[in-house]
Amino acid sequence: MPKFGSKNLETLRQPLEDKVVTISRAAGLLTFPANFMFVAAMNPCPCGYFGDDRKECTWGLGMVQRYQGRISGPCARWT
Ligand SMILES: [Zn+2]
């Protein structure tokens, strides 16, 4: 999920909250239904082992924090 980038993911907020998506072009404004459930998952780090007690993460803490920082906090505010 972080590979999409926070700006792209934040773009999904409007259709998720409003259940419509509005496309604006020079020819005019079009609104389409967008009632959907967005389900996504992400690894805790790029290698997937951060926090795992069986295998050590190969990424440094700074890189893990940067990776996790690409998305905002829990999506509870979207409900
Ligand atoms: Zn890792």
- Is the pTM higher than 0.85? no
For residue 76, how far is its CA from the centre of ligand 1 (angstroms)?
26
Give the count of domains, the chain: 2
Per-residue pLDDT band at 3 (split at 50, 70, 90): confident
Tell me the C-alpha distance between 43 and 38, whole Å.
17
pLDDT of 37 over the 60 cut = yes
pLDDT, residue 55, reads 97
Give the residue, 45 or 8, on which the prediction is more confident: 45
Dihedral of the alpha carbons of 51, 72, 31, 19, in degrees to the nearest 10: 70
For residue 45, how far is its CA from the centre of ligand 1 (angstroms)?
4
| Contact (CB, 8 A) for 71 and 9 | yes
For residue 21, how far is its CA from the centre of ligand 1 (angstroms)?
36
Tell me the C-alpha distance between 14 and 52, whole Å.
35
Asked if the structure places residue 6 within a domain, the reply is yes
For residue 38, how far is its CA from the centre of ligand 1 (angstroms)?
25
Per-residue pLDDT band at 73 (split at 50, 70, 90): low
Give the residue, 74 or 37, on which the prediction is more confident: 37
Indicate whether 54 and 21 sit together in one domain: no
Q: What is the DSSP string of 10-47?
A: HHTHHHHHHSEEEEEETTEEEEEE----------SSSS
For residue 41, how far is its CA from the centre of ligand 1 (angstroms)?
15
Indicate whether 5 and 35 sit together in one domain: yes
Residue-number span of the structural domain to which 16 is assigned: 1-39
Indicate whether 28 and 51 sit together in one domain: no
